[in-house]
Amino acid sequence: MSKVFFVGCGPGDPELITIKAKKLIQKADVIVYSGSLIPEPILKFCKKGKLYDASKLVREEIFDLLYKNAKKNKAVVRLHDGDPSIYGAIKEQIDNLGKKGIESTVIPGVTAFLASAAALGTQLTLPGVTQTIIVTRAESRTKVPKREKISELAKHKATLIFYLSIHLISNLVKEDSIFAIGQDLGTENEIIRKMTLGEVNDGTLTTKYFSILVVKRV
Amino acid sequence: MSKVFFVGCGPGDPELITIKAKKLIQKADVIVYSGSLIPEPILKFCKKGKLYDASKLVREEIFDLLYKNAKKNKAVVRLHDGDPSIYGAIKEQIDNLGKKGIESTVIPGVTAFLASAAALGTQLTLPGVTQTIIVTRAESRTKVPKREKISELAKHKATLIFYLSIHLISNLVKEAIAGGYKKTTPVAVVYRASWDDQKIIKGTLENISKKVKDEKITRTAIVIISDVIDPESYEYSKLYDKKFSHGYRKAKVK
């Protein structure tokens, strides 16, 4: 049966990809990848496939590329950064393919918040501190339901993790909680900073869009 | 410098280990692993190392094994299931080693809830449904703070994920409903995600407890309560919308 693989390529370091993902990339005839979020060395695993940069395409073009190639029984990989189920827009793609009789398989990957915790050498829950991890994003162009407001989520005083929100950091943190920021994790340019809000605007922090922020009580 | 690697081996499928983790296991002199949670084929990556089953040891014995071998400059791996930062007791080990001058490095892995989402073929957040994922556990021997009660966490109606709690499924359901989820909210239970004997059980808050009991599942399962599993409707992403511009593409339609 015609099939598309939705593959998570991990957080950045090409050695933090799974064996399964690497094999699928190596064997692929067609790879549609999420632009600059996919590290160059990972694209180089692709030996014979044709590469398409999804960041230059709109939804309908991506649907079409995946469908037409799967229909021809090509080995088709849709390559997502991190893990496809975490803020990856896979469902609209899977549902569209499903309607046209194409099956999808998702290959999980190491998502950036796990790489961030590893870089910090920390556990995300600790007995006597918290047993809960909340992963969310600040509202910008994508709306966040009111019942998920940061100030509401903050009431549990759990480990609070933000994706796609670093540009809104002064909204996120209004007290001097300790938090950590990771950028380009697992690559040569990796930056890890622990700081308080007072230090955020000291000018040394570059606010790149794709960073991870961990706010913690401990 | 003497060093210990805390390595996540992924959810079960030996191909869902990272390349880095596999290499570290292959080169290790000593591996202390988390008992039956580590799949046999992953232990077989170990070519020359001595294997110790941590499930048969107490904390002090583990500390000692890691310390003594690192001190001798052996390549020491502490192998955890899934990802070490998710309910893995790494901090006590890292802190103990740190006090004695041994450095630790953590290698992240694919944790079971990601493998569960992949098995379900679902996204854990969906525009128009929820943008938040809450990972927690039901209280049993490990206490959970009151402000993290399931009925409190349920108020956000986000995607609610439980580790280590399948044996308490009827409590989870009761509290989730008390917190505000409709009885018809979809629930998925993924038993041994990515292992050969993986099982997926889907239902709603109303009927999932019975289904889990009928399947006699009492351990090693992830519970996901969320409308994302079977949404009545959802919105398409902004990122790939033709009316949306971003750093790498101008809007194609105004």
Are B86 and A157 in contact (CB < 8 Å)?
no
CA distance A29 to chain B (A): 21
Determine the pLDDT at residue B61: 97
Determine the pLDDT at residue B46: 96
Query: Hey, what amino acid is at A53?
Result: D
Residue A97 structure tokens = 């393919």
Q: Which residue has the tokens 């796609």?
A: A164
Write out residues in chain B with pLDDT < 50, as ranges: none
Are A130 and B148 in contact (CB < 8 Å)?
yes
Are A121 and B88 in contact (CB < 8 Å)?
no
Confidence of residue A180 (pLDDT cuts 50, 70, 90): confident
- The chain B residue lying nearest A162, using CA atoms, is B132
Q: Per-residue pLDDT averaged across A85-101, rounded?
A: 95
What are the pLDDT digits (tens) for B187-197? 999 999 999 99
Angstrom distance (rounded) from CA B202 to CA B148: 25
Determine the pLDDT at residue A209: 46
Confidence of residue A218 (pLDDT cuts 50, 70, 90): very low
Q: Which of A105, A117, A156 sits opposite B153 (nearest CB)?
A: A156
The answer for residues whose C-beta is within 8 angstroms of residue B245's C-beta and 6 or more apart is B251
**Sign of the CA dihedral B163, B164, B167, B172?**
negative
DSSP letter assigned to residue B50: E
Give contacts of B17 with chain A, Cβ < 8 Å. Answer: 18-19
Expressed in angstroms, the distance from the first to the final Cα of chain A is 51
What are the pLDDT digits (tens) for A192-213? 777 665 665 555 555 444 456 6
Rounded percentage of chain A residues whose pLDDT exceeds 70: 84
Could you tell me how many CB contacts below 8 A there are between chain A and chain B?
233
Determine the pLDDT at residue A197: 59
What are the pLDDT digits (tens) for A127-141? 999 999 999 999 888
Are A15 and B18 in contact (CB < 8 Å)?
yes
* Three-class secondary structure of residue A81 per DSSP: coil
Q: Which of B10, B136, B156 sits opposite A153 (nearest CB)?
A: B156
Give contacts of A214 with chain B, Cβ < 8 Å. Answer: none
CA distance B189 to chain A (A): 16
The answer for residues whose C-beta is within 8 angstroms of residue B161's C-beta and 6 or more apart is B113, B124, B133, B134, B135, B136, B222, B223, B224, B225
Angle between helices A59-71 and A90-99 (to 10 degrees): 50
Average pLDDT of the residues of chain A:
87
Q: Per-residue pLDDT averaged across A86-109, rounded?
A: 96
The kind and range of the H/E element at B163 are strand B159-163
Are B148 and A155 in contact (CB < 8 Å)?
no
Angstrom distance (rounded) from CA B92 to CA A158: 19
Give contacts of B81 with chain A, Cβ < 8 Å. Answer: none
Nearest to A137 by CA among A185, A87, A179: A87
Determine the pLDDT at residue A210: 46
Determine the pLDDT at residue B74: 97
CA distance B9 to chain A (A): 10
Are B18 and A114 in contact (CB < 8 Å)?
no
DSSP letter assigned to residue B134: E
**Can you give the pTM of this predicted structure?**
0.91
Give contacts of A108 with chain B, Cβ < 8 Å. Answer: 11, 16, 110, 114-115, 117-118, 194
Are A156 and B155 in contact (CB < 8 Å)?
no
